[in-house]
Each structure stands twice: as structure tokens, then as C-alpha cells.
Chains A and B, each alone.
Chain A
Amino acid sequence: MVSPETTRPSTDQIRAWLDIVPDPEIPVISLVDLGVIRDVQWVGDTCEITVSPTYSGCPATAVINFEIEAALRRNGVESITLKRQLSPPWTTNWLSDKGRANLEAYGIAPPQAAGGPKHCPQCKSTNLAKVSQFGSTPCKALWRCGDCLEPFDYFKCI
């Protein structure tokens, strides 16, 4: 007889599946890169995923939950529960290094503890000015480079 432990995928395997699910609004980073997947565990035969929302009103939250379920179902996991965890609140410190590098390559300056972008993601100039505290999504602010004159998104540090 085969025990459930040997047939069900490992939590590392599940994390790997979620690491190729793109963020619905910033597709160059995965849900794991974003830091919203706080825990993956088996409770009996049910896979329980703990998710922390980024911003309370972020419209992507519902889509993220849907994408998690879809990714697990694609891989044959049928019984899934999603747990919302508000505390500790999600912070940009949870972004992975891979995610930060991908953001920059995509043209979005990654968050910095100092509160503003390190340099222009296009030309690397440090001659920068903030245009608006909010950008195209709740998690971003709008900045402009004073040298190449390109506006760019900055992933807000919270």
C-alpha cells in the first residue's frame, strides 16, 4: 500500500510551482518573488497555502488567489485551502533578490530602504526626481530620470 506521504508532492515542489506563477500586474516577478506566499503545508490531504495581501485594496489580491489555486490544480492537487494572513503586514523586504533583479531589468526600480530608487533603471543615473507618490498600481510610485529624461516606476518601499 502507498501512503499519502509518498504520493503527494513535497512543499518544496509546490513552492517551485508557485515560483513560475507570474504576479498578475508585474509579470516579470513570481508570486514567490513578491513574498506573498508565507507558508505551504499539508494538513492531512489538504494543501494549505498562507497568503499575505500586499495592499488592503489591491485588486490583484483576488487574481493572485485564483492563480495559486489554478497552478496547484494544473499539477494535480485537488484539495486546497488558502489562508489570509494580515500580521505581520507584508513588506517589500520580502521581495526576493531574483525578483528585485527582474524588476530592474524590466524597467521598474526595486524598493530601497532609503525610500527612493537607487538609480534610473534605464541609464543608471542618480539624477532623479519624484513625479508622484503613486504610479500605475498601488505598489508603485512614479519617478523621472534627469539625464535620460525617461519616466519610470519605482516599487514603493513599505
Chain B
Amino acid sequence: MKIHLHRFGLLPIGCALGLALAQPVAAVTDEEFNALKDVVGKQGQRMDQLEQTHQQDQKTHEQDQQTIQKLQQQVGETQQIATNAIQKAEAAQVQPVHPIPPGPASTHNFMVVGDAEVQFGKVQGQHSAFAMADFAPIFLFRANDNVLFEAGFDVTLQNGSQPGGGSSTHVDLSFAQLDYLFNDYITFVGGDILLPLGTYSERTAGWLNKIPDDPLARDFVPGSGIGMQLRGAVPIGQSGQSLTYAVFGVNGPSSLDTNGLASNLDLGGNVGDTGNWHSNPSGGGRIGWFFPWKPHYDVELGVSGQSGEWDNAGSHLWSAAVLDAAVHISPFFEVKGEFINSWYGTDDSGNVHARGGWVQAGYKLAGLDLDYPVINNLELVSRYDRVDDGLGTRTDRCTLGYVYYFSNTLLFEGDYEFVHSRGPAALPSNEFVFQLSYGF
């Protein structure tokens, strides 16, 4: 019984303790409960988001797996193709007779450059006609780093060149020379060489000239001659400036009919069908100075000459002196010209002094910076010629014209020439000349 009493005594104590311990639980407020509820709710949302992300990752993974399988299949196919190609190549391979030597692929090269022209003209008082067709290839063969063979031909059909009409076809050798680059300052040139009397023959003739006709005064000096030449250039500073020189010895002018009559002077340098009977060759040279102060802005001055016997007896000298100048100011404007003097003794006309000059200017309308493509492709050109052949014929010629650049190699030139000529060998009247030129 005592025991039960004890038990009953402990019951209130336990209740009191229970109440005391339960008192803090009963102290949670509604706000705290709601906050806890919010936290639990947010965690639930995050769980949902994570579950969605996981599902998306699974989908991506499955797609990647499919892509990898496709790529593996493609790699397998490529490997199969490569294997087949190797097998075919091995089957088709022929063993070389000699091993391929090491080093550069080639030391020499052959190529053809040049130009072609078609000319249409009308002389005042005559019918218009296609006056000339010209194909002028230049063959270049570089044997090695120091040796170059070059030869230029002119295949020309000249309309109306025969008395009473008709045309004639000519195949002429313009030049055929061997160039040997001896060192940095000396180049040897031998053969039928272009003569550095002025710069026209070497650098302006053909399609490079902006006016179809040659300057009249060029008739007083030969364009080429058979012989040898040493030439070179010495740079001054590092801005592109240089001094140039050329010294040559060639057969020189000769007589068409062995005697020393003025009308028999042949400046062709015996390239044609006449003999060369005078004993001494003629010699000459040129010294030039080129000064660029920036790209497209430069001046070049040169003085050149040639002298030697021309008649068979060797009793008459033919001599020439040429001053040449060229100025470029901007990519659009240039002026160039030559002043030529020549003297030769004759049996019938004494000492003949043939002389003349020409000045040519060109301006590309692209320099006006207009937004018209047709205008931008045009260059206006003009030239004044004056010659006195020393035998009573004097000629003044003023040429006005244009060059239209279809491209950098296809040019269409048109000119009107005002000619005033008097004397026994006077030139025809004014004329139109149009020329289509292609450089290749």
C-alpha cells in the first residue's frame, strides 16, 4: 500500500514537470509558424525546379548520346573511305625511276608578254579605214637567276600601204637580246638591243604610249641596233633615288645604197637586208638621274647620245644627242618629253642637222574625285611635236586625245592630230586616230 501511495505521490510531480516542460512548445507564435511554413513551401518549390532541371539534363544527355553515336558512325565511314583511298593510291603508285632532287621546284621559266593593237583612222579628205592591226609578243626565257633571253616581234598588217591601195603584212624583230646580270652594278646586254637614246624606245613605245602615233622626232634616232651594252644603276640613299648609266657599241646607221647621199641614211642599224660595210661601229650611252620624293611624285632627267660612221667609205659621221625628262605629280598627272638633235655628213647635202622635240602631258580625271565611273576611267592626253629634218621639211603637230581604261590592260585611245607640215617631205593633213590596245 505504501508503494501505491508513493506512486500516487509521484503523479502530480510528473504532471507539474510535464507542464513546466511543455510550456515553451506552447510559446510558438503564429508568425513563427507561418514563417516556417513559408520556408518549407519554398524548399518544396526548389525541389520541383531541381526535378525539372534534372529531367531536362536527362533529355540533353540522351540527345548528346545520339549525336555521339552519329559522329562515331561518320568517323567510321570516313576511316573506311580513307582506307580505301590509301589502298587505291598504293595500288596505283609507280615507283619513280630517279629520286626527286631536293631544292626549289624550278630555276628557269618561260613566258610570253606583249601587246596587241587595232587602229582606225581618218585623214582629212580621205576615207576612213581600219589602218593597222598589230600583234607584238615578247618572249622571255629566264635561264637562271642571272640570265634572261628576251625577244620582241611585231606582226603588223598595214592597210593602204601599197601604191594604189591594198595592204601589206610585216613580221619584224623589234629586239632580241641576252641579259646577263653580272653583279649589282653591271648588267651585260648583247644582241639586237634596244638603244637607250632617250627613254621612248625602251619604256614608252607600243601600248605603253598614251597616243597611238610615235613622236615625230623619234624618226631621227634608231630604236635598236646590233651590238653590246653595259648598263646599271647606283642607288642613292634608301628612298628610291638612283643614278643610271648605259654604254653601248652597235653597228649603227648605214647606207641603203652604199654611197653617202642624204636620202640613203638607214637608221635601222643593219637589222634589215642591207650590208654593213663601214669599218667602225658606233658608240653611245646615257646617264640618268631619278629622284622620287614620295610614291607617284618623281622627276627623271637623262642625257644620251650616239656617234659613228654611216656611209660605206666611212667618210661621214652620224651623231645624235637626246635630252629626256619626265615628271610625275600625284598618281594622276605626268609630263614627259625629249629634245633630239642629230647631225650627219652627206655627199650631196653637206652637213644635215635634223632636230626636233616633243612634250606630252596626261591627266587622269580620277584625280577630280568625282563619283562617276566613266569619268574616273578617262585620262586626257596632249602632245606637241616639232621637227625639222634638215632637208627643208618642217612639221608642227598638236595632238589632243584621251585614253579610256576598260581595265589596267585594255585601253581605248582616241586622238585628233592638227598637222602643219611644209617642205618636200610634208606630212598629210589633220587626222583622227582611234586605237584599241591590250597589254598582256
A binds B: no
Interface of A toward B, CB cutoff 8 Å: none
Interface of B toward A, CB cutoff 8 Å: none
